[in-house]
Every structure is written in C-alpha cells, then in structure tokens.
Structure 1
Amino acid sequence: MSHLSHGRTEDTSTGSLDAIPGFGPDDEDSRPRDRRARPPRRVRRRRTVVVLAAVALVTAAIVVLTTTLVLPFMARFQTPDYPGPGQGSAIVTVAQGDTNQEIGATLVQQGVVESTKAFNEALQKESGGKFIQPGQYQLKKEMKASDALAAMLDTKTSAVHYAAINQNLRQSDVFTILAKATSIPVAQFQALAKNPGQFGLPAKAPSLEGYLHPGEYRFALNAKPKDIIAQMVARTKKTLTDAGITDPNEQYRMLTIASIIEAEAGEADYGKVSGAIYNRLGPDNKETSGRLDSDATVSYGLGRRSYQISDQEKQDASNKYNTFANPGLPVGPIGSPGAKSIAAAKHPEKVPYFYWVTVNLDTGETKYAVTLEQHQRNVDEYTAWCGAHPGKCD
C-alpha cells in the first residue's frame, strides 16, 4: 500500500502546471493579448509599400487632371500675351484715323503682340490718357503687350520714317519714295541732287544717281533731307569699300558698270554680262569698236523706261547716255545698284562673249554670242517671244 501510495505521491509531485492543458508555455493563450494582435514585421512592410503606392497613384492622378483639365480650363479665362521682351524687328504703320482695335489687330497680324485683348487691357491700365499717334514704329516681334504700348507712346525712341528702296531704281523713283515716307517735298531732294559734291561725289557726277543705296531705311522723325541723303550715300560708299573699291573715281566707274549690269540682266547672269561688258570696253575690241550698245543706257538718257528705241534715237550722240553712238561707258550710273552687281562689276567672269540678250522676259533666260551673226539669231528669238506675249516688251 505504502509503495503504491508513494508512487502516486511521486506522480503528483513530479507533475507540474506545464502538463496541464491551458497552462503550458507552448499554448498561444499564455502570450500577452497585445502581442498576439500585432502582425509579423514582413506583413507590416508590405502594407507600407501598398499605402505609399496608393498615395503616388493618387498624386499622379491629380497632376494629370490638373494638366489636362484644370489648367486648360483656367487658361480660357487668361488673356493671351507674350512674356517678352521680344525678338527680331517689325515696322508697324498706324494710319490716320486708325482705332485702338485696328492698331491692336495690326500688331497681332505682324506678330508683335499675341492678342488684341492683351493690347486693349494694356491701353486701359497704362495709357494714362495718351493716344498713339499716326506714323511708323520700329518694334520687336513677340513683345509683351504693355511693352509694345509703352514703345508706341514714346515716339522719341520708336517712331520712325520707314522707306524701302528697291535695287536699280532711278534717282527720281527714290525721291518719290522718300517724299511719301517722310512727307518732305520731292523738290527738296531734287535740289540736293543738283549739288552732289556736297556729299563727297566726284566732280564729274551730274547727280546723285547710283549713290542712293537700295535697302530698308528707318529715318528719325526729325531727320532733314540732307541727313537722309547723306545716310544713303554713306551706305553706298561702305558697300564699295567692303568690295575693295576705295578710290572715288574707281567707285564711280564701278557704280556705272554695276547699274548697267542690273538693268541688262537677272542676278544669275550678272557675272557673264559683266564679262561681256569688259570685253566691249577692252582696247582690242574690234567686234563693236568699244561701244556697249545698251538699250538701257539710251532709255535712261531719254527719260523713258521702254526698250523700244528707234534707229534715229540710237544715232543721237547728244544723248550722253547713248552707248550706241558714244563708245565707252555712259556719263554716269543709270540706277541704284546693290552689293551683288557691284561685286560682279569688280570681278567679271572671263567669257568670250560680246553680245547678250534676254530671250524670255518671264524666266530671264539670257543667250550670249561671240559674233553679230550669232547675236542676231538670238535677237530674232527674243522678237518672236515678244510677238507671242503682247505688251511685255514695251
């Protein structure tokens, strides 16, 4: 008995709470409750990544919506206006009686301001009761509307007399353009032309012909006629100097040749026609005995622009520009040549020709010849072309 009892006592004493269900260390119920509710660290990191990705997607969506919907919608209520300060150059003409709306439209058309609305808003805010005066204004393209307005109100810095002079225009044509651009009477320019020496021209120059350089001009509003002519003559002299022609008498000679080249040929033929002219001016020229035989020079001396010249007119040696009756160059230039024809006069092409004729006035096709017989066939081609195109050869 005692043995069995002792055995039971050992069983009971050696047993512990760990052996009782619900009290062992491996039972999850034995862990604190808050620790049991926390997920593993790996799960927490996964959740953080998901949240950050969601935030990024929402942010991207907001940016896309703002860019594609909100900003364009808001832009509809903003006035289109360039940021400035602008670039390039634009000459804007304001005519007498132009309204602010018309001025704004002109500025938009010439690319100076982006919208008439921006210009009108600038007028309302910043004009200070001033009005834009009729005239021509030198502005930039893509200006801020308020800057364009400020420039036009400040006539001392932006208002100009603008004149565009084409190549080979005669002196009389240039004076007409200058008078229209500046409102200075033509007679004042004509009076200056009677004394070309005051502008540094050679004594043999009968007028300013040839020295009124082609190009775009922006004269100050208070410019005097003499200042205007001096500026044009200075540009001509600079072009000659840049071409390596510095002697005044040689400059005059080059201008004369260049003006004939421009009157007789298109730009593509400047070099060849120049070479043919030099062949005619050469001391060994037996083909034409030193005569240029230029219709353009005779026509200039007659005060006409037609190339229909009679035989009697070609024989009139009293016309100092008649290169049929008088050998060598005419008394002076017959127009205002540009830089390219001056360069051709300075550097003629070496050609064997003595004759040239433009056989198609539409395309400018020019044919050359060494002998008069060859030249006459080319002239016949020109005559046939004129017959097929009435009025174009007058």
Structure 2
Amino acid sequence: MTDRQPPTDHPFAEFFRNDAAPAQRTAPPSSRRDARGGSGSRGTRHRGSSSGGGGSKRPRWVVPLITVVVIVGLLGGAGVFLFNTFGSQVQSLLAGNQVEDYEGSGTGEVMFVVNDGDIGETIGDNLAAAGVVKSSAAFYDLLLKQNPAPVFQTGTFKLAEQMSAQSALDALQNPDNKVDFTVTIPEGSSAKGIYQELSDVTGLPVSDFEAVGANWAALGVPAEAPSIEGFLFPATYVFQPGETATDMITTMVNRTFQSLDAAGVAPEDRLKVVTLAALIQKEAGSVEDMAKVSRVFTNRLNAGWNMESDATIAYGAGHSRVETTQAEREDPSNIYNTYLYPGLPAGPISNPGDDAINAAIHPADGPWFFFVTVDLDTGETVFSETADEHAAAVERLQEWWAAHPEIE
C-alpha cells in the first residue's frame, strides 16, 4: 500500500509525494552496516546524530504547517468560487439597504410634470430621470413612510436639481410651486361661464377668450352654428404657462370633436347632435334620465310638435331660472324660443358631456311626450304619455314648491 502514488493531476499530489517519500527510503548506510554486525554503540551514535545524512527526522512543526497551508488554500479557493458565483447577488442585497439620496433643497430649476394617474413609484422614476432626486428608491421609500399617504395634484411644478427626497416631496405638496393652470369645466356650463373660469385661473382677460370664441368657424365649428356654444367640451384641462387663449379654446373644441368622432357622429351631423345633447344636458335631472329625456324630445319632433323647453327660453333670455313667464314664452325676439319656433332650438344652449351626447344618439324606447321634475332636491322626474298624466305630475311639483317657500 505504501507503494501507491496519487495521480499527478490531483490537487494534493505534491503534498502526498513529499510526505510519503521517507517511508520508501532504505536505511542509511551506517544503519545497514550496524545490522551486519557493527557495534550497537556505533549504530546508536549514528541514530542519535543530528548530522547523520538522510537519517535525520522531519521537524514536528512541518506537517501541521503544511496542513494549515492546505486548509487556508482550500478556504481561499472556496471564497473565490463563491464570490465569482454569487458576488453580484450579495452586492445587490447589501446595496438594497443603502438608498442613495441627495442632501438639501437642490439648485437650479426643473419644470416637473405630474400626469393624471401617476402613482408614487412612477413619480419617483420620473424625478430620478429628470435629475431632481438621486434615485427613485429614495423617493419611493420615503413615500412608504408617510401616514397618511400623500395626494399628488396633476400639473407642472417648479423644482430644482439634486434635491433630497424629502425636499422634493415637500415641494410637490406645496401649491405655491405649481406653475400650470388646471381648469375644471362642469357639464352643462355655458361659454360665458367658461370664459370667466379660464380668466380667473390663468389671469388672461375674459376679452381674449371672447375674441377667440367669436371666430368659431376658424376653429372648425360648423359655420351655420349661432355661436361656439356646445363645442367647448366639459373636462379638466391642464394648461401650461405661455399658452394663449387661442391655444386653450382650440384644445377644448378639438376635445369635443374627439368625443363626437368616438361616438360615431359624422362631421355634417355634429351641430344637430350637439344641439340636442346640450338640451338634454340642461333638462335631465340625472344621467339615468338622459335617454328618456332624449326620447321625449325625439317623439315630439317626430310628431311635429314644438319642443316647448323652458331651458331654451331661459338661455335666449340670458338667465338661468327654472321657470319662465308667459311673456317670455311669447317673445319672438328670442331665437331659442321653442314654444314659438318648431324643431330643434337655434343652437346648443350648453356644453354637453359624453353622457348627454350618447343619449342624443341613443334615446330610450318609450311612448313619453312629457316629463317634469317633481322633487328638486332628489331630482325625481316623472315621464308621461298623455297631457292628463303630465298635469298630475305638475301638481306634485307645485306641492313641492309650496313646501319650500324659502326657495325663490
């Protein structure tokens, strides 16, 4: 067994060769002579001599030292293998606890936009891409610590470069840093009211918007329309500093065309659909009633009746009262007087939204020719087929008025 040698390519071959060699050597010559009959004292002297050639023993510390060296080598080799294999993962795990962040409120100026629907993680990514914060993680991790969670307003904010995550968050929550103009237009608003709202928010004169609206045909609104009314789509708009009245009004008109196109309305039918939709928007007590209101007016038109809408008279007279007077209903100077003039009113009387447009195109099925809101608090509306049914519903409305004398 002592004659076996480890393979030469074994990683410990050299170690085994060096350690096994003494067991295969023959005794030194002096020992052989002693064995053939030399004196025991001479043999003993040679065995005990430190200068006795190849017969000297290896020092006791050599084998332990070699063992230690081998173990250290093994550990070192294992460490290199593990680092080469898993080093990147380990570094990533270690880096996960070290979020990079700037310090302070930053320098310079960055116009940063928060888009509608952006979540915290998206805002963090965009801040990092714009050079505002050092990393998206720094901002997002800060958000997770907030209680309650921050609510971000859409729009453009004036920030700085290299801000700390906390400074960026504070700046986005400060309305003084908002530099754009957010305008919300409710369904059923009039052009006059929209001009005033745009002026209040942007600081531009009302006359600037009026001047743009007066040239409605240049914006693509049907030339036969009596005004731009009906084509300023109700929605929330975010206008940027530097945009003009023309830019803003054009955006709103194009948004109307977008809605009509999506509803399948041909360009030549835009005015007719918007006119009916605007009337539905003003007359319906709720979105649920819009299709029924559309059916009432459609039935009247198909039967050759006048539409007889108080809302059209009120618009033409320049007021917003629910009730109209007998004199107003007999006034021929009001081109929107649907008590006197047959067919659709001269033009839209409000700016309708998608629900009213859809109702104008898709009226409900029903035999109704009349409707009246009998409770102005709840918006309850009664639809009737005959004049007698309608008269009974009107009595309910009068009872409601009697019960609410405080309302003029």
Question: TM-score when scaled to structure 1?
Answer: 0.61
Query: Within the alignment, does 1:309 sit opposite 2:309 as a pair?
Result: no
Query: Within the alignment, does 1:145 sit opposite 2:160 as a pair?
Result: no
Q: 1:357 aligns with which of 372, 375, 379?
A: 372
1:244 — aligned with what?
Answer: 264
Return the alpha-carbon distance in structure 2 between the equivalents of residues 375 and 185 of structure 1: 46
1:176 — aligned with what?
Answer: 196
Query: Within the alignment, does 1:264 sit opposite 2:283 as a pair?
Result: yes
Q: CA deviation at 1:189?
A: 0.7
Q: 1:294 aligns with which of 309, 314, 320?
A: 309
Pair 173,115 (structure 1): closer, same or farther in 2 beyond 3 Å: same
2:243 — aligned with what?
Answer: 223
2:297 — aligned with what?
Answer: 277
Q: 1:322 aligns with which of 309, 312, 337?
A: 337
Return the alpha-carbon distance in structure 2 between the equivalents of residues 233 and 316 of structure 1: 32
2:76 — aligned with what?
Answer: none
Return the alpha-carbon distance in structure 2 between the equivalents of residues 168 and 234 of structure 1: 18
**Secondary structure of 2:371 counterpart:** strand
Q: CA deviation at 1:262?
A: 1.2
**Secondary structure of 1:272 counterpart:** helix
Pair 198,391 (structure 1): closer, same or farther in 2 beyond 3 Å: farther
Runs of 5+ unmatched residues, structure 2? 1-117, 124-142, 159-163
CA contact (8 A) 2:213 2:249 kept: no
Question: TM-score when scaled to structure 2?
Answer: 0.59
1:255 — aligned with what?
Answer: 274
CA RMSD of aligned residues (A): 3.0
Q: CA deviation at 1:200?
A: 0.4
Runs of 5+ unmatched residues, structure 1? 1-83, 90-110, 119-134
Query: Within the alignment, does 1:338 sit opposite 2:359 as a pair?
Result: no
Pair 114,204 (structure 1): closer, same or farther in 2 beyond 3 Å: same
Return the alpha-carbon distance in structure 2 between the equivalents of residues 269 and 150 of structure 1: 44
> Which residue identity is paired with 2:242?
N
Identity of aligned residues (%): 35
Matches within 5 A, 1:1-394: 86=120, 114=146, 137=156, 144-148=165-169, 159-247=179-267, 249-265=268-284, 266-282=286-302, 285=303, 289-392=304-407, 394=408
Q: CA deviation at 1:144?
A: 3.9
How many residue pairs get matched? 261
Return the alpha-carbon distance in structure 2 between the equivalents of residues 244 and 87 of structure 1: 37
Return the alpha-carbon distance in structure 1 between the equivalents of residues 352 and 386 of structure 2: 29
Pair 207,353 (structure 1): closer, same or farther in 2 beyond 3 Å: same
Return the alpha-carbon distance in structure 1 between the equivalents of residues 405 and 274 of structure 2: 33
Return the alpha-carbon distance in structure 1 between the equivalents of residues 317 and 194 of structure 2: 18
> Which residue identity is paired with 1:237?
F
Return the alpha-carbon distance in structure 1 between the equivalents of residues 346 and 374 of structure 2: 28
Q: CA deviation at 1:145?
A: 2.9
> Which residue identity is paired with 1:211?
F
**Secondary structure of 2:238 counterpart:** strand
**Secondary structure of 2:381 counterpart:** strand
**Secondary structure of 2:180 counterpart:** strand
**Secondary structure of 1:335 counterpart:** coil
CA contact (8 A) 1:194 1:206 kept: no
